[in-house]
A and B are shown apart, each in its own frame.
Chain A
């Protein structure tokens, strides 16, 4: 299975891919996770890849290969669409973060991304993860909300992810993250 997690540097995509990696390991799969560090983490477009299967060679998911793209932001969903496989699905956080060229007026933020995706990519799911994270207690928990949603979308074993959460999240924030995870899971299961 090939999963891409795309978003904006600083949104916490890294934690999300680590969590997925840990969960797949617990499920006894061969796993590779590819991360980005350095410059693009400063508010740039970021992408991490999680691949699992019997044997994984390249750590990268390439064009036309992603079974799921988890997008933390709308524009990033549109940008990375060419990476989706023909039968692949999208899980999109409805949040909008304007990139600098849009802020300065050098470019336009495309309108109607969500509608287009829902109409043209069968099985796409959208949710307002920021709102759910705030309800859970912190806007920073967006990533965990989205992990919860993804577990529901891909029908993955929930308990494995709960254990992975305990392994990756500092104890201080565990309760908050568990609530966020549940909210994401419930939002998509409905």
Chain B
């Protein structure tokens, strides 16, 4: 096949295809999502969205034990959720190859923290590979399956925002014919209870030694010598690209493709040739700490730090003392933070929560944007599902009166991911909390993935969907209400009622995402300038389609027709009937 542009994620999916993977189970999360979206485009692979990462890894592990090459993909924080099966899958090992991709988000483009997933590889005692461009994404993915089967281990594939989301040239190949391996019952390998797990722990330690030997000779770790080099650079992944861009032939490079376990001799031999050895790795100093533990003098973190993304510019500045020539626009440029879209059903909910002055335990999704001005509606946002359980915590700490003005809000996908256990906790422990699911019929933030509430599979085929009302009742919530987030007064009265009662309530704010193709927008709202008093109440909705404009010395609301979807929320907020649907 000829060369074509692939994103890192698409190249991983291509690798899965070519190496005969037949089961893919993932949960979306930027920047990892497109691996599985792309995998779903290959008819030869079964692909699914799991309800969360723990389920995804367990599905993949089961498939591997069952003899099929299997895969699970997730973002860095997703691996925290999947850590439980991960650590013990390290003991069971595999039957057919098992690879888990984890994408870090240096620079926090779309995440709640900036953790370094390499620590998981070390602590779960698993090998980890890190590609630096799309061609390596494909090649390393394929290699990972050989490694997995040869060493009887799950393999972690570490990606990052700039590798996952950069497109570069890839030569795609054909799919290998990998037959299903036989499955045989083998409790000593797969039933992890103390007696068997003790044996497997011995196996894991022995495997780690063998993997460390492999790290000394694998072609994934490469050195690149330059005659004029004054410094030696040890690096991996995207940081290699930055280093190479910045230093070119002025450095020699040890590029590590296998980042766990790390080699010893390879590093010693490389470092011995230079007076100055610099480790260039984003986030934590994993390679640097390893070098220092071996007594090899290197520098890294003291120059480049632990936070954010690196760049060629940063490396040039720190190592060569060079700064770019730039020009600035003479005035301050106001920031442009992301916003809830015009017509977003979450907006009406936040307007009402603000009006009622509630303490809002938030969660992760598009609705996290409700934390920004002017809505400024969230008090807390930590991790998926935490809204529900932390609401129970704060209500328990502060008492039933406090609970009358506190609520948890979370999206449909987030609720399925890890909100269900939280509502069971509330009901079981006689809590009084009010939980609201913002059901927009899609996983919005990560770019519109189907989920168990939407009635469609990853391939768009109709399937069963979770009935949230019945689910909440089955978990012990006797009060279950459904509201339309565009009906502000209806939503307000339901909220007031449910917050007052001394028992748990479950509210579903139901309306599909405005960006779904199935959602038709209404004609735009218009502003009657004679009626508009310039009171700015409508501005509290935080809609990007509404702004204030001065006409004849007076400030009036103005609607951007190209943005407005005619959702009518501002119309309901306006007390002077100045904002109206065009047809009325």
Contacts and interface: CB of A to CB of B under 8 A. Distances in A.
B539 interface: yes
Contact of A109 (B324, B334, B546): B334
A67 B120 CA distance: 41
A59 B337 contact: no
B430 interface: no
A25 B169 contact: yes
Contacts of A109: 334
A9 B109 CA distance: 13
A86 B338 contact: no
B138 to A, nearest CB: 15
Interface in A50-79: 56-60, 62-65, 75-76, 78-79
Contacts of B109: 36, 38-40
Contacts, number: 180
Contact of B245 (A58, A78, A86, A107): A58
A32 B333 contact: no
Given A63-B326, A86-B325, A9 B547 contact: no
B250 interface: no
Nearest to A75: B333
Contacts of A98: 544, 547
Interface in B125-181: 133, 162, 165-169
Contacts of B446: 38
B530 interface: no
Interface string B211-224: 00000000000000
A139 B313 CA distance: 37
Nearest to A95: B562
A78 B326 contact: no
A47 to B, nearest CB: 11
Max chain A CB contacts within 10 Å: which of B241, B325, B330, B337?
Answer: B337
B339 A43 contact: yes
Interface string A1-34: 0000000111000000010011001000011111
B4 A25 contact: yes
Contacts of B521: none
A60 B162 CA distance: 9
Contact of A30 (B169, B325, B333, B335): B169
Interface string A100-131: 11111111111001001000110000000010
Given A45-B335, A58-B242, A78-B331, A64 B326 contact: yes
Interface residues of A, number: 61
A102 B7 CA distance: 35
B110 interface: yes
Given A38-B110, A43-B544, A103-B539, A21 B5 contact: yes
A21 B3 CA distance: 13
Interface in B294-346: 311-313, 324-341
A100 B133 CA distance: 36
Contact of B166 (A32, A45, A105, A139): A32
Given A59-B241, A81-B327, A44 B110 contact: no
A42 B340 contact: yes
B548 A105 contact: yes
A101 B372 CA distance: 10
A76 B340 CA distance: 19
Contacts of B328: 81-82
A45 B336 contact: yes
A82 B166 CA distance: 22
B31 interface: yes
A39 B373 contact: no
B34 interface: yes
B30 interface: yes
Interface string B523-557: 00000000000000001001010111000000000
Contact of B167 (A32, A62, A86): A32
Contacts of B324: 62-65
A61 to B, nearest CB: 10
Interface residues of B, number: 57
B227 to A, nearest CB: 18
B510 interface: no
Given A37-B165, A43-B339, A99-B335, A58 B31 contact: no
Contacts of B162: 34, 59-60
A21 B110 contact: no
Contacts of B332: 107, 110
B374 interface: yes
Nearest to B164: A37
Nearest to A34: B166
Contacts of A45: 335-336
B229 interface: no
B369 interface: yes
B168 A32 contact: yes
A31 B110 contact: no
A49 to B, nearest CB: 8
A82 B327 CA distance: 5
B447 interface: yes
Contact of A57 (B4, B245, B313, B339): B245
Max chain B CB contacts within 10 Å: which of A36, A40, A58?
Answer: A58
Contact of B30 (A38, A100, A101): A38
A53 B329 CA distance: 29
22 contacts: A31-B5, A31-B169, A34-B162, A35-B165, A38-B447, A39-B109, A39-B110, A40-B338, A56-B168, A57-B244, A58-B312, A59-B241, A60-B312, A63-B324, A82-B326, A98-B547, A100-B337, A100-B544, A106-B334, A107-B334, A110-B329, A110-B333
Given A43-B339, A101-B334, 11 more contacts: A25-B5, A32-B133, A32-B166, A32-B167, A33-B167, A38-B31, A44-B339, A58-B241, A79-B333, A100-B372, A108-B334
Interface of B: 3-5, 7, 30-31, 33-34, 109-110, 133, 162, 165-169, 241-242, 244-245, 311-313, 324-341, 366, 369, 372-374, 445-447, 539, 542, 544, 546-548, 562
Across the A-B interface, the 5 shortest Cβ-Cβ residue pairs: A38-B110, A64-B324, A38-B30, A107-B334, A44-B338
